[in-house]
Chain A
């Protein structure tokens, strides 16, 4: 399977704990995106990488959130001091750079539940 993979699929943690999610994009894709999706809503953009450079960050991405893509391949999203409102599905997507009509290919997501 050469699609976008995310790990873990589910994460349950207590409020105040730190969590880290991983995304492995399609190998030849140099663009990588993180989204958050809550029930009944569409994905909301969090941040975007082209290769290892983080080029855009949403205002939704508070100081407790940090994302990295150290070698331009896989990416991690860390949430520190989790809060109830962080409960959501976190989606990763990747695409090819170049023409703007390139679609994004999504992973299965990581569902985060804060107790």
Chain B
């Protein structure tokens, strides 16, 4: 089974600064999809950004961007100009091209310091 590892249980960042959250995964598939989800306290999990493994270009969504290193099986999330509203749990998720399951990491709790 695929595994997703987030090695940083907690991270903090000063408001307006940049922070990078790490994610690695293990798979034998060559085609797959990677996602970052945000879960604010007591609120819904929402999609932040996604990356198709066949695309070499890193995905970006406004202040959020990824560093996708396929050979290293690494998929980090960079948040630029951090805002107080960015404080949440962030989950990295993997989905293979053939299966229907999403595999989630254990999450990183991000604190934004005013």
Contacts and interface: CB of A to CB of B under 8 A. Distances in A.
A42 interface: yes
A58 B99 CA distance: 13
A48 B44 contact: no
Interface string B1-34: 0001010010000000000000000000000110
A45 B33 contact: no
Contact of B97 (A56, A100, A103): A100
A45 B106 contact: no
Contacts of B103: 45
Chain B interface category by residue count: 20 to 34
Contact of B106 (A42, A50, A56): A42
Contacts of B95: 100
B104 interface: yes
A79 interface: no
Contact of B102 (A3, A50, A55, A104): A104
A56 B47 contact: no
B43 A108 contact: yes
A101 interface: yes
A91 interface: yes
A43 B91 CA distance: 9
A106 to B, nearest CB: 4
Interface of B: 4, 6, 9, 32-33, 35, 37, 43-47, 50, 52, 91, 93, 95-97, 99-107
